[in-house]
Amino acid sequence: MWLLSLLAAFSLPSPPAASRRQLLSRAAASLPAPAALAFAAEAPSSVRVKGAAEMDLEFYARGLLGSGGAPRSAPPPPPLAARQLDAALAKRLLDAAAAGIAPSVSAPSAATLRQAAGARRQALAIEYDRALFAGAFSAA
């Protein structure tokens, strides 16, 4: 039943000045309550915003009148100071990363993962030092 009323709302002859908002409100009025709530959201405020053509026209008109180009914009705010990580937060972040990585590499726990990584690091220490000092692509 509501489908027929919805189709009737869209097939009504509308005057040329009818807007999309009027059409949607007519359609929402014919829908059942839950579906009508989806259309009942407030439309964005109709604040007048300049389009690209208007901005171009204003720029060229200023140039022809000799008042300069575009108005000066305000300088950007100064950057925020870098935040320092304290040792407790850094430890919690590393523990969380290890706990997240452990299941993906079939390690039973984060502690086991740390032990395996430490052993692997010691086994690769010579190759790491060679790449660090001689370059990764040197003829060793």
Rounded distance between C-alpha atoms, residue 68 and residue 63, angstroms: 5
User: Residue 7: is its pLDDT beyond 80?
Assistant: no
Q: What is the amino acid identity at position 18?
A: A
Q: Which of 27, 28, 22, 31 is nearest to 40 (CA)?
A: 28
pLDDT by residue (tens digit) across 9-50?
555 554 445 566 676 667 666 655 555 455 555 555 667 788
- Tell me the C-alpha to C-alpha distance, in Å, between residue 2 and each of 9, 25, 33, 37, 99: 10, 15, 11, 15, 54
Statement: the pTM of the whole predicted model exceeds 0.85: no
Instruction: Quickly state the pLDDT bin for 88 (edges 50, 70, 90).
Output: very high
